[in-house]
Amino acid sequence: MRDTSRTTYRDDVQTGGAASSLLAAMRRVLIGVVETLLRWQELSMQRRRLLELDAHMLKDIGISRADAVREAKRPFWDKRVHRVGDRQPGSPVGRVEAATSVCCQR
């Protein structure tokens, strides 16, 4: 029978290396989760602030009140980004998202 109570330096390093690797992976996952939650919170706040803009400010950024309401009703996890070149002709989505990211940050 083999005595497993005694370990060598090499065994400790190998085990520690695996543990360090696991901890580093867990840390990356946790950081990713926290960053996602913070992005969702910011997106939700921007959409709510869009509703606070008056008609003149909405006109300045090129969107209607209906566009602002539609954007504010989107769920916080819906982060589709439509850039001006990517959007369908006549679609206000790109303008709304650009407005929320520029205008509504405090």
Residue 27 falls inside a structural domain = yes
Measured CA distances, 56 to 29, 36, 51 (Å): 43, 33, 13
Residue 2 within a domain? no
Residue 3 domain-assigned (yes or no):
no
pLDDT over 80 at 42, yes or no: yes
C-beta separation of 103 from 53 below 8 A: yes
Q: What is the tally of structural domains in the chain?
A: 1
Q: Is 0.85 topped by the overall pTM?
A: no
Give residue 59's domain range.
9-102
Name the pLDDT band for 88 (thresholds 50, 70, 90).
very low
Instruction: Please write the tens of the pLDDT for every residue from 2-26.
Output: 555 565 555 555 556 788 999 999 9
With cut-offs at 50, 70 and 90, classify the pLDDT of residue 40. very high
User: Cα separation of 15 and 58, whole Å?
Assistant: 60
Residue 4 is assigned to a structural domain of this protein: no
The distance between the two most distant Cα atoms of the chain, rounded to a whole number of Å, is 84
